[in-house]
A and B are shown apart, each in its own frame.
Chain A
Amino acid sequence: MQASNNLWRFRGVTPTAMLAFVYLYLPIVVLVVLSFNANRIATLWTGFSFDWYLKVMDNDNILRATKNSLIIACGATVLATSFATMAALAMAGRRFRGQAFINAMLGLPLLVPEIVTAVASLLFFLALGLDLGLMTVLIAHTVFCIPFAYLPIRARLEGLDPRLAEAAADLYAGPFATFRRVTLPLILPGVLSGAMLAFIVSLDDFVITFFVAGAGATTLPVYIFGLIRMGITPEVNAVSALMLLVSIAFVALSYWMGQRKS
């Protein structure tokens, strides 16, 4: 479109953009390549090997941390997505008093620096006398996952024709039947995309988990952080590469769901 016109070529824009893309992907590519390195010294390439992945799969601590991560991510996703769907439905109707306040509150987990949320949650749990563990992590994750689930659902609802729900009501569908048979199928791509973002955000979180996890609820990022602090090894490369690939797969999938028009 515009690019065909010579006037639209700003000097330096194309090389800068190319540089930005290389910059963004260079570390990812290097990490994945090195995770297949046969050498014990993690950054010296000597040949292809799958060994480190096998070692990772055989490591009980990693498996336990992965299990914790999955339990928490699944729990937080279900809770955050159902809460967010309900809230989005309520917020979509006509304006009401207190709506601005709820909107501001929904923005808080995105706005407040992670370390502040982490500290505040830690102090709160300790003041309540709760034991730090899977439960406290699940609560904290649900809180910061709500906005991530909410935004795509809200966007989807905004594009919806309100006459569809009205038509269902005219045909004597109750509120629940209308939701199940009309609204939900229409917003499903948004709900799924929101759920996937919540899942990936929970799976990837480090800072908040690090503070509220206690000893028994180590998740994969917290475990990886411990490994990294001890040094660079081929096992860390392999487990990091796995983590990265899972995230990329989820983002691509979520993007694809969001793009689908009904």
Chain B
Amino acid sequence: MSLDPQRRLRRKLLLAPTTLTLLLFMVLPMLLMAWMSVLAPDTYGGVRWHEWSLDAYVQFLYERDLDDSLTLNSDYLQIFGRSFLLAGFATVVTLLIGFPTALYIALKEEKTRQRLILLISIPFWTNLLVRTYAWMLLLRNGGLIDSSLSALGLSQGALDVLYTPTAVAIGFVYSFLPFMVLPIYTSLEKMDWRLVEAAFDLGANRWQALRRVILPLAMPGIVAGCLLVFIPAIGSYYIPELLGGGKSLMIGNLIQNQFGTARNWPFGAALSFMLLALVLLAMGVYTRRFQRPPGE
């Protein structure tokens, strides 16, 4: 039964609004952004459309001195490094908390499981900005954590956690924890638990069963979770802004500055493009490693 032309036309018409919207307002803007990153900046913001320039990428690594010579400048590299470090730290910690949590849920009865998953998804869908603000209430000096610690006699003086990288890390782990639990749970839920029983029957202890059977089978979920935590964390803008103060600038804040105060569009576009390239690279590696058709 081959498709008649009428049905084919109908399918095209059905797809048109979505395809056109995404092409026009998602794909095209990305291409434009990549293009703008190799143009020269205009003095008052904007770009010079006909002037090619690699300055934005040069600016990332070098500083132009008064006599026009280039000297190595690691400021921006440091910001990229800090973003990597904080996002990587958040990924590791959410994994350490998220995997046992997912395992705990997966081992419950069907009904309990659904309720617990709803409990995990509610923070996943609620306003991140507002939840970040809630951490400001908890972490500030004189806030709940500070005052209860000193009431218990566990700390002397102010806690001074808010507006430090520690606060940013706490915010990251908190905000992205559901992103780690949900995919791991999905892969654990699909797992054939008889394999673990078989491991027990063959004399494996709990640790061996976990390491040799459960972990490898949960791997696609674990890697998906790591990407889902790492990608939003590395580009995050308002968590460092609100919890880190001015001290823990990350890529997202740097990009925002280029469009706000610095008015250097090509540099902002180049930074965004580099961030996008990093993310796509990570995704590419993931797809190659874990989405091969079976039997290949």
Contacts and interface: CB of A to CB of B under 8 A. Distances in A.
A28 B103 contact: no
Interface string B136-171: 111010111000000000000000000000000000
Given A87-B18, A225-B129, A247-B127, A7 B142 contact: no
A43 B142 contact: yes
B109 interface: yes
Contact of A116 (B103, B127, B272): B272
A240 B120 CA distance: 20
Interface string B95-125: 0011011011101110000100011111101
B252 A115 contact: yes
A38 interface: no
B23 A105 contact: yes
B161 to A, nearest CB: 14
Interface residues of B, number: 87
B202 interface: no
Contact of A113 (B25, B134, B138, B234): B234
B26 A31 contact: no
Contacts of B238: 206-207, 225
Contact of A124 (B25, B97, B114): B25
B30 interface: yes
Nearest to B100: A16
A10 B130 contact: no
B16 to A, nearest CB: 8
A134 interface: no
Interface string A11-51: 11110110111011111101100100000001110000000
Nearest to A24: B123
A20 B130 contact: no
Dominant SS at the B interface?
helix
Interface in A96-148: 96, 102, 105-106, 108-109, 111-117, 119-124, 126-127, 139-140, 142-143, 146
B140 A20 contact: no
Contacts, number: 248
Nearest to A224: B129
Residue of B127, B193, B256, B272 most packed against chain A (CB within 10 A): B127
Interface stretch (A156-164, A182-190, A248-256): A248-256
B121 to A, nearest CB: 6
B279 A113 contact: yes
Given A90-B11, A113-B234, A207-B237, A224 B22 contact: no
Interface in A78-100: 82-84, 86-87, 89-91, 93-94, 96
- By size class, the interface of chain A is 35 or more
A115 B19 contact: no
B54 interface: no
Given A7-B200, A248-B122, A115 B235 contact: yes
Given A14-B104, A111-B279, A204-B128, A86 B14 contact: yes
Contact of A243 (B127, B269, B273): B127
B123 A16 contact: no
B242 A228 contact: yes
Contacts of B36: 123
Contact of A247 (B101, B126, B251): B126
B22 A123 contact: no
A113 B108 CA distance: 34
B123 A28 contact: yes
B126 A228 contact: no
Contacts of A23: 97, 174, 177
B128 A8 contact: no
Nearest to A45: B144
Contacts of A206: 128-129, 238
Contacts of A126: 46
Contacts of B181: 20
A17 B100 contact: yes
Interface of B: 3, 10-12, 14-15, 17-19, 21-23, 25-30, 32-33, 36, 46, 97-98, 100-101, 103-105, 107-109, 114, 118-123, 125-131, 133-138, 140, 142-144, 174, 177-178, 181, 193, 200, 206, 210, 231-232, 234-238, 241-242, 251-252, 255-256, 259, 265, 268-269, 272-273, 275-276, 279, 283
Interface of A: 1-3, 7-14, 16-17, 19-21, 23-28, 30-31, 34, 42-44, 82-84, 86-87, 89-91, 93-94, 96, 102, 105-106, 108-109, 111-117, 119-124, 126-127, 139-140, 142-143, 146, 150, 175, 197, 200, 204, 206-207, 211, 221, 224-225, 228-229, 232, 236-237, 240, 243-244, 247-248, 250-252, 255, 259
